[in-house]
């Protein structure tokens, strides 16, 4: 159909070209030039030395995504089987924190995880730290005994005053899971909700037990929800810089931190920053394409 | 469906909600804390709420956030709806190609979107500058502004750009479901196209538009990264303000604003849910239930004859919104302004109020994290400052790169009060660009409750004994400078081998896990709360930490035996600063003896003002009724024999700067 309505698309095409395509092209130009805008590949030549940052980012983001799936899937599944009032309430409660900015939510974790923060205070007051200090020497002795047997180095037990929580990779993953969990729950929940109950009934009538129904029908049919959840959690996780900065204390440098540092941080080099952004973008896009291809095949196979 | 016990699943759901809400509840509880900590309860108080409403930075950023979210949502909803309609009348192949492009901003990492938009805006501004200069030179009818900077406009554009795809994504399915013949039928029956759109299409796709707008608004409110790269220095959203605050001392004002935001959203949600529930129950009960007076009024109001009232009311609301926005922007833009960028915890804020009352000039006071970060901000075109307060070596670099405007000293009579020791220094040998703000020394701050020896050497920073308890200062010059001094080299060395050795010392300690983190102003909270044992920071800040140290924390300051750095921070004006007269007034005001005394008392940095420096002990005695400890005064204003052990940072040649930059990036990698 071709009519005058299609003219409505024209300004939008212009807008997209201006605000989506051209900015990315400019970024690509920056990535391939020096500070004097002469063509170069130097920015990419150094990429190898940032491999550890790439690895750390992808590792932490992967762990966070996995945790989100492990928490998000069962919760969405159970939620979809509750009454409508409960569901609406739960949905509202899941969306609610998103209207507070994610930095506020991350900030609240800072005061919880500090060395003298709320969690360590709690541990101290209920005696977990004393308990640890009493039990741990036993394990250290045990380890030393084994080490002595093999002639390895001995370690001394140093009593702790707090558990080290902030500034660890765990804290960063926690921040990601906390902030992006709703993005995992929402798509999975909406897919499970739309599942045709006749299919489940048919499967049961054909003799499948509930485990089999779940494995063979529910899981494959809810996969698209999981995949879009994975995308919505993984992409912001891999590129975050605020979470790693606030909860990682600057020692858990991630790709986002590296990029931010080249633009507004302590080492001004937008050309290198653009190159790193580009590499990250390409890797993420390839991951997503591969994953979606894999997911699609799976989904179709089941329907057929 | 098989009925089974739901206790287990409900328990799991409950646990997840506990996880989601526990931090928020704690945040709310500590907003009522009488003390200024987010971890130690000192009693109930509403103190932080009253402080919040006086905090201009937060209140302005809340206003900016709401305004940008509402405007961006409104624009994106209208534009996105029409774009979706347009896309749906295209052929399938073209439509899919365009939808793929449409998905880019949603699929892309926020940081990539933010960075690419930032580069785009800056490139556009440069092109515009050339065009405007040419245009202004060929005619004199219209004067185009030659200098554009990142600000509210770019922030809004960026938000619209990432919101439109969400609207399209939500409207598109509704368009797909709609019978296309309906529009034709309506038009055949004599509707104009606009009528057909209004009466037929809009009601069909309305749910999609509403949910699209809702998601766009959520994304706008929740965004930080894209705003961070596109807002520039002049406007900041709440998220940016909070990010800035977490780099300094965070006060429970942040908790208070979070609580207010949370409660207002909660109220909205409960109200809308109640409405839905009531509607449902009404449907279930039919007309049997008696309507409440409110509902009767609402029903009456919905009758067609009140159409004009409804339209009028909606129109009035829109007009009121537009008028208030226009008024506020007029009120803020018509007053003379001066944009100042300084460091965190670096001014007695009463001075800003005093200056505003005396002159009627609004001070837009921003902070940067470090000299290097300030440089990035200036270079990336995001800054709209008039006055900046960099340190000596960075001033040298800014002068060398022609980024500063010479000052007109006839407008700064208070310059004569500056002690001669702080004039004509190496970074500005003819003293054409600068008026000193403070001076001081770099040293080691340590918590004697956690360190049982007296620290005398920079070596303590790299010692395994304190692994996990040392804070590395987060700027390349100071961090590598300390290592250079420890190795016995000059802080101004240009010898690559020496710098690499210093880097290796720091990087090795980093690999061994000696450093707990890399901090600038986060150091206050860490050291005051006893969360770290050793840090490198500035003498003045040590004194203000001592003032705020928690129970059981006992901080000490030392200038190590290997020597240290002494610095001068000075006010200068950026090239082509738009508010030069105001900038001179501000500089002159800050250089006065009274302002220097107030600042010295508040931030504990030594003043370059001769009189203020001499009078401070008396000023202190008069203010607090006790004598100023001589040792405190000497930490603040280091005596000549201490300064003799210290070296000033000089601006380095560009190869060395490059080396510093590369090594600094590398350090984070390991």
Q: Which of the residue ranges A226-235, A240-249, B324-333, B469-478 would you say has the lowest mean pLDDT?
A: B324-333
- Check residues A9 and B119 and name the one with the higher pLDDT: B119
Q: Is A1 a residue whose pLDDT tops 70?
A: no
Contact B109 A284 (CB under 8 A): yes
Nearest to B204 by CA among B230, B185, B229: B185
The B residues from 6 to 65 touching A (CB cutoff 8 Å) are 6, 9-10, 12-13, 16-17, 19-21, 23-24, 26-27, 30, 38-39, 65
Contact assessment for residue B624 and residue B452, using Cβ atoms and an 8 Å cutoff: no
pLDDT at A297: 45
Is the per-residue pLDDT at A299 higher than 50?
A: no
Q: Which of B226 and A266 is assigned the larger pLDDT?
A: B226
User: Smallest CA–CA separation between B622 and chain A, in Å?
Assistant: 37
Lowest mean pLDDT among A57-66, B109-118, B524-533: B524-533
B265: pLDDT strictly greater than 70 = yes
B647: three-class secondary structure by DSSP: strand
User: In this structure, what token pair is assigned to residue A290?
Assistant: 């591969």
Q: Which among B79, B262, B276 has CB closest to A100?
A: B262
Instruction: Give chain A positions within 8 Å (CB) of B98.
Output: 9, 13, 16
Mutation test of the interface with chain B: which of A12, A46, A117, choosing the one with the most B Cβ atoms within 10 A? Answer: A12
Beta-carbon count within 10 A of B539 CB: 25
Rounded mean pLDDT, A111-140: 86
Question: Is A27 close to B382, i.e. CB distance below 8 A?
Answer: no
What span, in angstroms and rounded, lies between the C-alpha atoms of B372 and B390?
A: 9
Mean pLDDT score of chain A, rounded to an integer? 86
Tokens of B251: 């006060």
Q: In sequence order, what DSSP letters do the residues of B278-330 get, joined into one string?
A: HHHHHHHHTT-SPPPHHHHHHHHHTSGGGHHHHHHHHHHHHHHHHHHHHHHHH
How many Å apart are CA B667 and CA B503, to the nearest integer?
Answer: 8
Number of helices (H), then strands (E), in chain B? 27, 11
For B617, the token pair is 């002990």
Of the candidates B549, B225, B469, B482, which has an alpha carbon nearest to the alpha carbon of residue A167?
B469
Please report, rounded to a whole number, the percentage of residues in chain B having pLDDT higher than 70: 96
Residue B234 has pLDDT above 80, yes or no: no
Question: Is B267 an 8 Å CB contact of chain A?
Answer: no
Chain A residue with minimum CA distance to B223: A101
Among B6, B13, B239, the residue with its CB nearest the CB of A101 is B239
Say how far apart CA B391 and CA B579 lie, in whole Å.
Answer: 22
Give how far B306 is from chain A: nearest CA, Å: 33
Distance, in angstroms, between A72 CA and closest chain B CA? 9
Check whether B330 has a pLDDT greater than 70: no
The answer to whether residues B212 and B171 touch, using CB atoms and an 8 Å cutoff, is yes
Q: Measured between alpha carbons, how far is A64 from A56 in angstroms, rounded to an integer? A: 12
Hey, which of B91-95, B168-172, B318-322 has the most confident mean pLDDT? B168-172
pLDDT at position B210 over 60: yes
B116 CB neighbours in chain A (<8 A) are 23-24, 26-27, 277
Cβ contact A281–B86 (<8 Å)? no
Among candidates B108, B373, B529 on the partner chain, residue whose Cβ is nearest the Cβ of A264: B373
**Distance (Å, whole) CA A38 – CA B559:** 46
Query: Which residues have CB under 8 Å from A120's CB, separation 6+?
Result: A114, A129, A162, A163, A165
Confidence of residue B427 (pLDDT cuts 50, 70, 90): very high
Query: B9 vs A78: CB contact, 8 Å cut-off?
Result: yes
In this prediction, residue A110 carries a pLDDT of 86
pLDDT band (50, 70, 90) for residue B570: very high
Instruction: Tell me if B13 and A75 make a contact (CB, 8 A cut-off).
Output: yes
pLDDT-derived band at A296, boundaries 50, 70, 90: low
- Nearest CB among B65, B101, B118 relative to A263 is that of B118
Q: Do A102 and B39 touch (CB under 8 A)?
A: no
Q: DSSP of B197-248, one letter per residue? A: IIIIIHHHHHHHHHHHHHHHHHHHHH--HHHHHHSTTT---HHHHHHHHHTS
Q: CA dist B502 to B446, B490, B493, B658, Å?
A: 22, 11, 11, 16
Beta carbons within 8 Å of B470's beta carbon, 6+ residues apart:
B460, B461, B463, B509, B514, B515, B516, B532, B533, B534, B535
**Nearest-by-Cβ selection for B246 from A89, A107, A231:** A107
For the stretch B575-603, pLDDT in tens is 888 899 999 999 999 999 999 999 999 99
> What does the H/E/C string look like for B237-253?
CHHHHHHHHHCCCCCCH
Q: How far apart are CA B431 and CA B485, in angstroms?
A: 29
Tokens of residue A186, six digits: 């929402």
Q: Is the model more confident about B299 or about A72?
A: A72
From CA A93, how far away is CA A100, in angstroms rounded?
12
Q: How far apart are CA B652 and CA A36, in angstroms?
A: 20
Q: What percent of chain A has pLDDT over 90?
A: 32
Q: Which of B85, B102, B242 has the CB atom closest to A8's CB atom? A: B85
Please say if the pLDDT value at position B1 is more than 60: no
The CA distance from B409 to the nearest CA of chain A, in Å, is 32
8 Å CB contact between B597 and B615: yes
Residues 6+ apart with CB under 8 A from B285: none
Across the interface, do B38 and A111 touch by the CB < 8 Å criterion?
yes
B 58-117 near A (Cβ less than 8 A): 65, 79, 82-83, 85-91, 98, 101-102, 104-105, 107-113, 115-117
Chain B residues near residue A100 by CB distance under 8 angstroms = 24, 258, 261-262, 265
Span A17-67, pLDDT tens digits: 999 999 999 999 999 998 888 888 888 987 888 888 999 999 999 999 999
Cβ contact, residue pair A111, B26, below 8 Å: yes
Closest residue of chain B to A30, computed from CA coordinates: B119
With CB atoms and an 8 Å threshold, state whether A108 touches B23. yes
Give residue B643's pLDDT.
93
CB contact under 8 Å between B12 and A74, yes or no, is yes
CB atoms A272 and B104 under 8 Å: no
Residues whose CB falls within 8 Å of the CB of residue B372, separated by 6 or more in sequence, listed in order: A265, A266, A267, A268, B394, B475, B476, B477, B664
Mean pLDDT of chain B: 88
**Alpha carbon separation from A263 to A186, A258, B121, B603 (Å, rounded):** 34, 9, 14, 30
What confidence tens digit (pLDDT) does each residue in B46-66 have? Answer: 989 998 888 888 888 888 999
* Residue B366 host element (H or E): strand B362-368
Region of B156 (left: φ > 0; alpha: ψ -120 to 50; beta: rest) is alpha
Token duo for residue B663: 């090594």
Residue of A16, A104, A116 with shortest CB distance to B529? A116
pLDDT of residue B288: 53
For residue A188, pLDDT beyond 60: yes
- The confidence score (pLDDT) of residue B615 equals 93
> Under 8 Å CB-to-CB from B464, ≥6 apart: which residues?
B512, B514
Q: ipTM of the predicted structure?
A: 0.88
Task: Please give the average per-residue pLDDT across B290-303, as a whole number.
Answer: 69
For residues B114 and A263, give the distance between their C-alpha atoms in angstroms, rounded to a whole number: 11
With bands split at pLDDT 50, 70 and 90, how would you rate the model's confidence at B291?
Answer: low
Tell me how close the Cα of B466 comes to any Cα of chain A, in angstroms.
13
HEC secondary structure over B444-456: EEEECCCCCCCCC
Cβ <8 Å between B16 and A274: no
- Indicate the pTM of the whole model: 0.87
pLDDT at B595: 95
Instruction: Report, as an integer, the average pLDDT of B134-159.
Output: 87
pLDDT computed for residue A303 by the predictor = 29
Mean pLDDT over residues B252-256, rounded? 87
Which percentage of chain B shows pLDDT scores above 90? 51
pLDDT at site A3: 59
Q: pLDDT band at residue B513, thresholds of 50, 70 and 90?
A: confident
Q: What does the alpha-carbon distance between residue B459 and residue B80 come to, in Å, rounded to a whole number?
A: 60
- Residue A57's closest chain B neighbor by CA? B669
Q: Which two tokens stand for residue B389?
A: 């307060």
B380 versus B263: the higher-pLDDT residue is B263
Give the per-residue pLDDT at B72.
Answer: 95
Which residue has better confidence, B463 or A300?
B463
Specify the pLDDT at position A304: 26
Task: Please report which confidence band the pLDDT of residue B306 belongs to, taking 50, 70 and 90 as the band edges.
Answer: confident
Q: What is the pLDDT of residue B616?
A: 94
Euclidean distance between CA atoms B328 and B490, whole angstroms: 53
pLDDT tens per residue across span A231-259: 889 999 998 988 998 888 777 788 999 99
pLDDT at B65: 92
Residue B95 belongs to what H/E stretch? helix B92-107
Question: Between residues B312 and B407, which one has the greater pLDDT?
Answer: B407
- Cross-chain Cβ contact A12/B13 below 8 Å: no
Closest Cβ–Cβ partner in A121, A250, A267 for B665: A267
């Amino acid at each position: 159909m071709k009519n005058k309505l299609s003219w409505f698309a024209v300004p939008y095409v212009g807008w997209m070209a201006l605000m989506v395509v051209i900015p990315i092209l400019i970024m690509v130009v920056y990535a391939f030039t020096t500070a004097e805008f002469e063509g170069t590949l130097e920015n990419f030549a150094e990429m190898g030395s940032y491999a550890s940052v790439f690895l750390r980012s992808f590792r932490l983001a992967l762990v966070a995504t996995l945790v989100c799936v492990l928490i998000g899937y069962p919760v969405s599944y159970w939620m979809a089987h509750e009454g409508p009032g409960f569901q609406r309430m739960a949905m509202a409660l899941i969306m609610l924190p998103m209207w507070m900015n994610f930095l506020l939510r991350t900030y609240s974790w800072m005061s919880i995880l500090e060395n003298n923060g709320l969690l360590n205070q709690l541990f101290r007051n209920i005696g977990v730290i004393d308990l640890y200090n009493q039990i741990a020497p036993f394990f250290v002795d045990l380890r030393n005994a084994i080490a002595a047997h093999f002639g390895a180095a001995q370690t001394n037990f140093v009593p702790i005053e707090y558990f080290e929580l902030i500034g660890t990779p765990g804290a960063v993953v926690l921040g990601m899971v906390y902030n992006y969990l709703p993005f995992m729950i929402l798509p999975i929940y909406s897919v499970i909700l739309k599942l045709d109950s006749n299919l489940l009934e048919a499967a049961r009538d054909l003799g499948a037990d509930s485990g089999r129904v779940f494995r063979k029908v529910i899981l494959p049919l809810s996969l698209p929800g999981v995949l879009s959840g994975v995308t919505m959690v993984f992409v912001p996780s891999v590129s975050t810089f605020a979470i790693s900065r606030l909860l990682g204390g600057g020692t858990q440098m991630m790709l986002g931190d590296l990029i931010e540092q080249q633009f507004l941080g302590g080492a001004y080099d937008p050309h290198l920053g653009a190159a790193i952004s580009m590499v990250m973008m390409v890797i993420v896009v390839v991951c997503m394409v591969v994953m979606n291809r894999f997911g699609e095949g799976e989904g179709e196979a089941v329907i057929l | 469906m098989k009925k089974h016990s739901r206790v287990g699943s409900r328990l799991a759901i409950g646990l997840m909600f506990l996880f989601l809400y526990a931090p928020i509840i704690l945040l709310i509880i500590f907003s009522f804390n009488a003390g200024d900590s987010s971890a130690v309860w000192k009693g109930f108080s509403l103190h932080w709420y009253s402080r919040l409403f006086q905090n201009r930075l937060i209140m302005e950023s809340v206003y900016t956030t709401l305004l940008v979210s509402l405007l961006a949502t409104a624009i994106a909803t209208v534009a996105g709806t029409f774009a979706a309609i347009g896309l749906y009348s295209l052929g399938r192949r073209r439509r899919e190609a365009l939808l793929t492009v449409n998905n880019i901003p949603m699929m892309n990492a926020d940081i990539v979107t933010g960075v690419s938009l930032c580069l785009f805006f800056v490139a556009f501004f440069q092109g515009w500058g050339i065009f405007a200069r040419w245009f202004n030179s060929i005619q004199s009818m219209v004067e185009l502004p030659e200098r554009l900077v990142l600000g509210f406009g770019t922030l809004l554009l960026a938000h619209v750009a990432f919101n439109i795809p969400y609207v399209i994504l939500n409207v598109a399915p509704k368009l797909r479901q709609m019978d296309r013949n309906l529009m034709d039928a309506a038009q055949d029956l004599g509707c104009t196209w606009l009528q057909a759109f209004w009466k037929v299409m809009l009601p069909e796709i309305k749910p999609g538009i509403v949910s699209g707008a809702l998601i766009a608004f959520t994304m706008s409110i929740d965004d930080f990264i894209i705003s961070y790269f596109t807002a520039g220095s002049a406007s900041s959203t709440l998220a940016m303000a909070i990010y800035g605050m977490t780099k300094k001392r965070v006060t429970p004002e942040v908790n208070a604003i979070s609580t207010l935001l949370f409660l207002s959203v909660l109220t909205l949600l409960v109200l809308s849910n109640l409405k839905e529930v009531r509607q449902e129950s009404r449907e279930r009960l039919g007309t049997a239930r008696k309507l409440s007076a409110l509902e009767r009024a609402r029903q009456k109001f919905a009758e067609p004859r009140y159409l004009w009232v409804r339209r009028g009311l909606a129109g009035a609301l829109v007009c009121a919104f537009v008028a208030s926005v226009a008024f506020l922007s007029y009120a803020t833009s018509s007053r003379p302004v001066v944009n100042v960028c300084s460091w965190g915890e670096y001014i007695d804020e009463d001075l800003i109020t005093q200056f505003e009352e005396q002159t009627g000039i609004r001070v837009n006071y921003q902070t940067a994290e470090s000299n290097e970060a300030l440089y990035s901000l200036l270079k990336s075109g995001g800054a709209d400052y008039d006055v900046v307060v960099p340190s000596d070596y960075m001033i040298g670099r800014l002068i060398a790169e022609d980024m500063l405007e010479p000052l007109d000293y006839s407008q700064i009579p208070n310059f004569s009060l500056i002690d001669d020791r702080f004039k004509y220094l190496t970074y500005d040998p003819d003293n054409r660009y600068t008026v000193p703000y403070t001076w001081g020394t770099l040293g080691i701050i340590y918590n004697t409750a956690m360190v049982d020896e007296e620290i005398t050497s920079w070596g303590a920073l790299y010692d395994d004994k304190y692994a996990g308890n040392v804070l590395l200062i987060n700027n390349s010059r100071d961090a590598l400078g300390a290592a250079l001094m420890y190795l016995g080299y000059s802080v101004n060395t240009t010898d690559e081998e020496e710098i690499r050795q210093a880097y290796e010392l720091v990087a090795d300690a980093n690999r061994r896990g000696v450093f707990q983190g890399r901090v600038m102003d986060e150091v206050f909270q860490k050291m005051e709360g006893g969360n770290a044992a050793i840090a490198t920071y500035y003498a003045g800040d040590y004194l203000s930490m001592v003032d705020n140290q928690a129970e059981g924390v006992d901080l000490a300051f030392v200038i190590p035996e290997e020597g240290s750095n002494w610095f001068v921070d000075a006010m200068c004006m950026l090239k082509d600063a738009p508010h030069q007269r105001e900038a001179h007034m501000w500089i002159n005001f800050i250089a006065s003896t009274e302002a220097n005394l107030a600042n010295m008392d508040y931030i504990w940095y030594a003043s370059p003002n001769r009189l203020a420096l001499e009078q401070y002990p008396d000023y202190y005695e008069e203010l607090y009724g006790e004598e100023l400890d001589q040792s405190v005064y000497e930490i603040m204003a280091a005596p000549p024999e201490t300064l003799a052990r210290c070296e000033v940072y000089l601006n380095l040649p560009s190869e060395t700067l490059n080396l510093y930059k590369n090594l600094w990036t590398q350090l984070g990698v390991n």
